[in-house]
Amino acid sequence: MPSPADFIHTQFILRIPEPTASFASKNVIVTGANGGLGKEIVKHIVRLGANKVICGCRSLKRGAEAKEEIEAVSKCKPDVIEVWEVDLESPPSIKSFVARANTLPRLDVVIHLAGIRSFNFKVVYDTERTLAINNIGTFLLALPLIPKLKETAREFGTTPIMTIVGSALYDRADYPQNPGQDLFTYFTDQSKFNPWNQYSLSKLIQLYTLIKLATLVDPVNETKPHPIVINSVDPCFCETGLSHEVKGMTRLVVKAFAAIAARPADDGARQIVHAASLGRETHGLYLRAGALQAYKPIAQDPKKTEYLWEILSKRLEKLDPSIMDNLKA
Ligand SMILES: NC(=O)c1ccc[n+]([C@@H]2O[C@H](COP(=O)([O-])OP(=O)(O)OC[C@H]3O[C@@H](n4cnc5c(N)ncnc54)[C@H](OP(=O)(O)O)[C@@H]3O)[C@@H](O)[C@H]2O)c1
């Protein structure tokens, strides 16, 4: 968890400049783009001249409302923003989204923003729902998009990027002592579910996965002619709908804390757009407060990294049997 001094600096003192890197001629995917950080991310990317921004939303209606609002502000042409349906809890929806993405002439940037912080226990993909969406659903979508990024790199001589939106709370995760053979199965038992921990744990698992993925896709020690970048970024604590499931008195406390400490969603969006415009120096790495930040000891655990990759890849293969072929592309 960020130290109090780090938290004060990041939430109250840090100056977060508007991103300025050009997105001209780029095609960009942003998941979870209909609200919170996502809508602000799309505004910046449109302002920076993207050719196309695809908003991956599970509700086409909410996506269309966001598109209308962004177009009104940015005055962009109506064909720049497209809203495509994607639900990270639905493998057929993910499959259709990927098939559509593969029809694009190029894919330059993918920002995996969609995620949840669930306070209500529910089992999805045979695990607890926060892990199901933030880990299984996120990578069920991420892996099949890699070949298109690599194809774009080869054909256009560019360095496409996949950015996974993480959270500094990863460092606060309480990792279970004995999760058994499969940590995802462990969390099908409601008595193991602590809503305040589950989100942090999902963000820790995202980092283990990112670290492993970056060793499998264009690793830094191999010089391939047209590598891509996969990185992660913490946008800091921002006012969004992320904690909307908190109820009762706790909701009032959370809201009061957010009123004091949270930054506007635009501040988080600026940092995410910045991270999604960086290069190979960020491959497999994590950014916070506008700069690369070393992983905290909890994320530097090769045994857990391997274990989680093994159980996650089995889960992914169950849902999409040829998914690992995407890493050979
Ligand atoms: N806000 C913060 O302080 C903060 C800090 C660190 C990291 N983050 C990260 O930022 C990301 C989004 O956060 P936010 O703060 O903008 O929260 P938000 O306002 O709740 O936005 C979450 C987005 O994810 C979408 N989503 C949820 N479940 C989905 C599913 N099954 N399939 C497809 N899309 C789904 C939501 O769609 P619906 O509108 O349909 O629900 C919404 O568009 C998360 O990954 C979170 O971990 C946020």
- DSSP code of residue 48: T
129 Cα–ligand 1 center, Å = 13
Transcribe 175-240 into DSSP letters: --S--TT-HHHHTTSGGG--HHHHHHHHHHHHHHHHHHHHHHSS-TTS--SS--EEEEEE--SB-S
pLDDT of 175-185, one tens digit each?
Answer: 999 999 999 99
Pairing of the two strands 27-31 and 52-57: parallel
Report the C-alpha gap between 306 and 263 in whole angstroms: 35
pLDDT of 214-272, one tens digit each?
Answer: 999 999 988 888 999 999 999 999 999 998 989 889 999 999 999 999 999 999 999 99
Number of domains in the chain: 1
233 Cα–ligand 1 center, Å = 14
Instruction: Say yes or no: CB of residue 288 within 6 Å of ligand 1.
Output: no
According to the model, what pLDDT value does residue 313 have?
98
pLDDT of 68-125, one tens digit each?
Answer: 999 999 999 999 999 999 999 999 999 999 999 999 999 999 999 999 999 999 999 9
Residue 263, domain extent: 4-327
What's the pTM value of the predicted model, to 2 decimals? 0.98
Which strand ranges, in their side-by-side order, compose the sheet holding 27-31? 81-85, 52-57, 27-31, 109-112, 161-165, 229-234, 286-288, 291-292
87: its two tokens: 């639900």
Pairing of the two strands 127-128 and 291-292: unpaired
3-state SS, residue 114: coil
Instruction: Say yes or no: CB of residue 58 within 6 Å of ligand 1.
Output: yes
- CATH number of the domain enclosing 152: 3.40.50.720
294 Cα–ligand 1 center, Å = 25
Report the C-alpha gap between 80 and 138 in whole angstroms: 24
Task: Please state whether 100 falls in left (phi above 0), alpha (psi between -120 and 50) or beta.
Answer: alpha
Instruction: Say yes or no: CB of residue 35 within 6 Å of ligand 1.
Output: yes
pLDDT of 133-163, one tens digit each?
Answer: 999 999 999 999 999 999 999 999 999 999 9
